[in-house]
C-alpha cells in the first residue's frame, strides 16, 4: 500500500474510533441542558398577555412535554438526519445559523493562531538559545503576562488605546464597517472573498477590522506555544545529532533551523492543535467585546435564553472540529517525522 493510501486508511480508522466520543458528547450535552435550572418555554412565552396555554404550546413545539428518554431518541434521530433543530431566538434552523457564523469564528481563530505562531516560535527559539539569560526571563515574563490578563481586559485596553486614544483602529463593531460593501460569499472568509472579488480596498478594510481581535486572542495563547517551543528547542539543542552537526563544522543557522528546530517542531504541532480547538470554543469574550458575529457568541446568547438547540448544535460542532483538528495534527506529525504513523 502506498504512503498516501496508508495514511488515508489510518485517518479513516481514527474517525471511526472517534464516533463513540461524539455520541457521548451528544448525550451528555442533551442531559446537561435538561437539568439546568430554568424553563425555556416560560422564557419565550414571557409577556404581558402570556398564559399557561401559551407556555404549554411552546413546550409542545420544543418537545419538552415528552419523557426525557423519548426526547433523547427523537434528538438522536434528528441528528442522524442532519437536523440540529431550530433556534427560537433567530427563528432559523440551527444548521443554517452555524453555517452562516462559523466562517467568522474560523477566520478570527486562524488569524489569531498565525499571529501567535509567528511571534511565539521565534521567541521560544530565541529564549532557548539564550537560556536562563535576561532575554530568556523577559520572554517568559511577557508570555506569562499575556495569558494572565483576561481576553476581555486586553481587548478593551487595545480598543481604548488604538481606537479611542490614537484613532488608528476602525470601529470595533463586527467584521466590516457599515460603509464597506460585502463581497460575494464564496468561502465566508472575508479576507479570501475580497481577494477573489479583486477588491483590495475591501480586503484592507476587513484586515484592519480583524487585526485587534486577532491580536487579543494571540496574546492569550502565545504563552503555551512559546513555552513548548523553548522546552523542545532546549531538548533538541542538547541532543547528540546537534552536537554531531556542530562538530563537523555546519553553520549555526543550519544547525538551528534544519536540525534543532525541525525536531523541536513536533511537540509544537501537538500543542498547536489543542490551542486551536480551545481558541475556537473559548473566544466568546473576544467576539462579545468586538461584536464579532461568530458561533461562540451565538451559543452564549442561546444559553442565556435557555434555547437548547443552538447550544447542543454548537457543542456537537466543537467536538467534531476537535476530532478533525487532532486528525490533521496526526497527519502533519507523520509528514514532519516519517517514523511516526497516524496510528
Domain ranges across the chain: 3-80, 102-336
Region 261-275: mean pLDDT is 83
- pTM surpassing 0.95? no
Q: Compute the distance between CA of residue 143 and CA of residue 156 in angstroms, rounded to an integer.
A: 19
Q: Compute the distance between CA of residue 268 and CA of residue 252 in angstroms, rounded to an integer.
A: 22
pLDDT of residue 39: 67
pLDDT tens for residues 58-101? 777 777 778 888 888 888 888 888 888 888 888 899 999 999 99
User: Among 107, 293, 300, which Cα is nearest to 214's?
Assistant: 107
User: Among 85, 89, 94, 79, which Cα is nearest to 64's?
Assistant: 85
Q: Is residue 340 pLDDT above 60, yes or no?
A: no
Show the 3-state SS of the chain.
CCHHHHHHHHHHHHHHHHHHHHHHHHHHHHHHHHHCCCCHHHHHHCCCCCCHHHHHHHHHHHCCCCCHHHHHHHHHHHHHCCCCCECCCCCCEHHHHHHHHHHHHHHHHHHHHHHHHHHHHHHHHHHHHCCCCHHHHHHHHHHHHHHHCCHHHHHHHHHHHHHHHCCCCCCCCCCCCCCCCCCCCCCCCHHHHHHHHCCHHHHHHHHHHHHHHHHHHHHHHHHHHHHHHHHHHHHHHCCHHHHHHHHCCCCHHHHHHHHHHHHHHHHHHHHHHHHHHHHHHHCHHHHHHCCCCCHHHHHHHHHHCCCHHHHHHHHHHHHHHHHHHHHHHHHHHHHHCCCCCCC
Region 177-196: mean pLDDT is 90
194 or 308, greater pLDDT:
194
Q: Is residue 342 pLDDT above 50, yes or no?
A: no
Q: What are phi and psi of 178, to 5 degrees?
A: -70, -15
User: Among 229, 234, 228, which Cα is nearest to 129's?
Assistant: 234
Q: Compute the distance between CA of residue 158 and CA of residue 293 in angstroms, rounded to an integer.
A: 19
pLDDT of residue 343: 47
Superfamily grouping for domain 102-336: MetI-like (1.10.3720.10)
pLDDT of residue 47: 54
Which pLDDT band holds residue 46 (cuts at 50, 70, 90)? Answer: low
* Average pLDDT value for the chain: 83
pLDDT tens for residues 212-249? 999 999 988 888 898 889 988 988 888 888 888 888 87
Q: Is residue 53 pLDDT above 80, yes or no?
A: no
Region 155-173: mean pLDDT is 91
Amino acid at each position: 500500500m502506498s504512503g498516501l493510501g496508508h495514511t488515508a486508511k489510518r485517518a479513516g480508522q481514527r474517525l471511526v474510533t472517534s464516533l463513540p466520543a461524539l455520541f457521548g458528547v451528544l448525550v451528555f450535552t442533551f442531559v446537561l441542558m435538561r437539568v439546568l435550572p430554568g424553563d425555556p418555554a416560560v422564557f419565550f412565552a414571557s409577556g404581558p398577555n402570556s398564559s399557561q396555554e401559551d407556555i404549554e404550546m411552546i413546550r409542545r413545539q420544543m418537545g419538552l412535554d415528552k419523557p426525557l428518554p423519548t426526547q433523547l431518541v427523537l434528538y438522536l434521530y434528528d441528528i442522524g438526519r442532519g437536523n440540529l433543530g431550530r433556534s427560537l431566538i433567530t427563528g432559523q434552523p440551527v444548521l443554517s445559523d452555524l453555517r452562516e457564523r462559523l466562517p467568522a469564528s474560523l477566520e478570527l481563530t486562524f488569524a489569531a493562531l498565525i499571529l501567535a505562531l509567528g511571534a511565539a516560535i521565534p521567541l521560544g527559539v530565541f529564549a532557548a538559545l539564550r537560556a536562563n539569560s535576561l532575554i530568556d526571563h523577559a520572554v517568559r515574563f511577557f508570555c506569562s503576562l499575556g495569558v494572565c490578563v483576561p481576553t476581555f481586559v486586553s481587548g478593551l485596553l487595545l480598543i481604548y488605546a488604538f481606537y479611542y486614544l490614537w484613532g488608528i483602529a476602525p470601529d470595533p463593531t463586527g467584521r466590516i464597517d457599515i460603509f464597506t460593501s460585502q463581497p460575494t460569499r464564496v468561502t465566508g472568509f472575508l479576507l479570501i472573498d475580497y481577494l477573489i472579488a479583486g477588491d483590495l480596498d475591501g480586503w484592507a478594510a476587513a484586515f484592519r477590522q480583524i487585526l485587534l481581535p486577532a491580536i487579543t486572542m494571540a496574546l492569550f495563547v502565545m504563552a503555551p506555544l512559546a513555552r513548548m517551543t523553548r522546552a523542545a528547542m532546549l531538548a533538541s539543542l542538547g541532543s547528540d545529532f546537534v552536537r554531531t552537526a556542530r562538530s563537523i563544522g555546519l553553520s549555526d543557522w543550519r544547525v538551528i533551523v534544519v536540525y534543532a528546530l525541525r525536531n523541536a517542531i513536533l511537540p509544537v504541532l501537538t500543542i498547536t492543535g489543542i490551542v486551536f480547538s480551545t481558541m475556537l470554543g473559548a473566544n466568546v469574550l473576544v467576539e462579545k467585546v468586538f461584536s464579532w458575529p461568530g458561533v461562540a457568541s451565538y451559543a452564549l446568547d442561546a444559553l442565556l435564553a435557555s434555547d437548547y438547540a443552538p447550544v447542543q448544535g454548537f457543542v456537537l460542532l466543537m467536538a467534531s472540529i476537535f476530532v478533525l483538528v487532532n486528525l490533521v495534527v496526526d497527519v502533519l506529525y507523520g509528514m514532519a517525522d516519517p517514523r511516526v504513523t497516524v496510528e
